[in-house]
Amino acid sequence: MSASAARKLVTDSATSARMSKQRRANTAPELALRRELHRAGLRYFVDRPPIKGQRRRADVVFPRLRIAVYVDGCFWHRCRDHATEPKNNAQWWADKLAGNVARDRATDAALTAAGWEVVRVWEHEDPQAAAEQITSLVKRSQPS
């Protein structure tokens, strides 16, 4: 095996190990937002599909009000301000991340068509401000 091939294997296994530690749920931004929502007196479901049978899960769900909240990571969901372009396997990553964004838009469209309100919060957003926005939406959506 050549030295460059060996380096690539080390990089790939190191990257693989690092990526395997990425959390799918209960990330720090999600927990911060949920703390603020709870502090505001809201009760909700966590990490659940808004529509039964759907594989795509929302981070916070208010089922009776049909509100689904997603806390999107800047890297994984291509934040305009903070997205980075991986240099190793650049095309694979470009395709993967573009697919994530396309799936997000398809999820938004499907939920909206089913009568749901979708809220997307970036991981870098202030959790208190995001919670205030969501609290306002919840209060407007509650039956009078």
Q: What is the pLDDT of residues 37-74, one digit of tens each?
A: 999 999 999 999 999 888 899 999 999 999 999 999 99
Instruction: Judge whether 6 and 79 are in contact, CB under 8 Å.
Output: no
pTM of the model as a whole = 0.83
Going by their DSSP bridges, the two strands 58-62 and 45-48 should be labelled as: antiparallel
Of 23, 100, 30, nearest in space to 69 by CA: 30
For the segment 107-136, what is each residue's pLDDT rounded down to a tens digit? 999 999 999 999 999 999 999 999 999 999
- Alpha-carbon gap, residue 29 to 117, rounded angstroms: 21
Q: Which CATH fold would you assign to the domain 24-141?
A: Endonuclease; Chain A (3.40.960)
